[in-house]
Amino acid sequence: MRNHLSFSRLSVIALTLLASFPVPAEISITLNSTFIERYKNRATIDAKFTIDHSKGKPNPASKDGDMHVAGRDAKNIGMPTVARS
């Protein structure tokens, strides 16, 4: 019984240490200067959005009630995007 408890504690410690290591992000996004000038003082972008993936149903009202989707609009945005409504 004591060995089982020690192994459990060791497992939790090991998982905690592994989860605390930073993961390097190797993603770099370069925005076109025209895009920056067009949208620099805006919080939203109007676009014809093609949905590539969605959860299928909105979050419950207790969370935020939003519908989260991923998609793209090559004409206005020019990169993969996440939206919520």
Nearest alpha-carbon partner for 31 in 13, 12, 45, 48: 45
Residue 18 is predicted with a pLDDT of 62
Structural domain total, the chain: 1
Q: Distance between CA 46 and CA 81 in Å, rounded?
A: 13
Token pair 């998609």: residue: 71
- pTM comes to 0.46
Instruction: State the average pLDDT over residues 5-32.
Output: 67
Name the region of 56 (left: φ>0; alpha: ψ -120 to 50; beta: rest).
Answer: left
Tens-digit pLDDT profile for residues 19-49: 666 767 777 778 888 888 888 888 887 778 8
Domain hosting residue 32, numbered range = 2-84
Instruction: Measure the CA angle with vertex 24, ends 20 and 29; round to 5°.
Output: 135
